[in-house]
Amino acid sequence: MSSQQLHQRAGRSEKGKELDKLIEQFYNSSSTQEQQEKDKNKKPINPKLKWIKKKLEALFWLSLGVALAYYTDLLDVILHSDKVDRFYFNIGLVGLFVFFVLYINVAYIYGARNKSSLDWEKEFPNSIRVATASLIITTIGFICGFWPIWVDIVVKFHF
């Protein structure tokens, strides 16, 4: 149901719609003014400290991922476990490969050729759809491929 139909059902006229717009503008402007006052009171952060914080955060997440992969024997499970459903796992790998090829093509190859114009959304309009579809296929493939292992872990620790 459209907003116009809702207004008609609620018995609102054009004046009611205008009043709603004015109220919305009032609330948006007051929150913007409050945000501007808060921004004035903040001290500017040193760009070097921002850079260091960003790098430390990236290092933390990277080390957490490496530790998780190491302590769960992820590589050993992927390469040698008979419980992995190889058909779905390979479908996930194909989807991941398609995504990376698309990403490298759009971000690096196209970006290197056209340094003046990085408007890849106009040049490659289907790239977002294809990338999204390939990542959905990857996710479903990996979930189905590793499902027997996850079920085994849950049963082992839950019961």
Per DSSP, helices labelled H in the chain are 3-9, 14-41, 47-71, 74-80, 86-103, 110-113, 120-123, 127-158
Model-level pTM? 0.59
End-to-end CA distance of the chain: 49
pLDDT at 63 > cutoff 90: yes
Range of the domain at 7: 3-41
pLDDT at 4 > cutoff 60: no
- Tokens 């929150």 sit at which residue? 31
Contacts of 74 (CB under 8 A, 6+ apart): 68
Domain count, the chain: 2
Does 60 fall in a domain?
A: no
Does 63 fall in a domain?
A: no
Does 72 fall in a domain?
A: no
DSSP state of 124: -
**Percent of the chain whose predicted confidence (pLDDT) is above 70:** 72
Does 94 fall in a domain?
A: yes
Distance (Å, whole) CA 131 – CA 134: 5
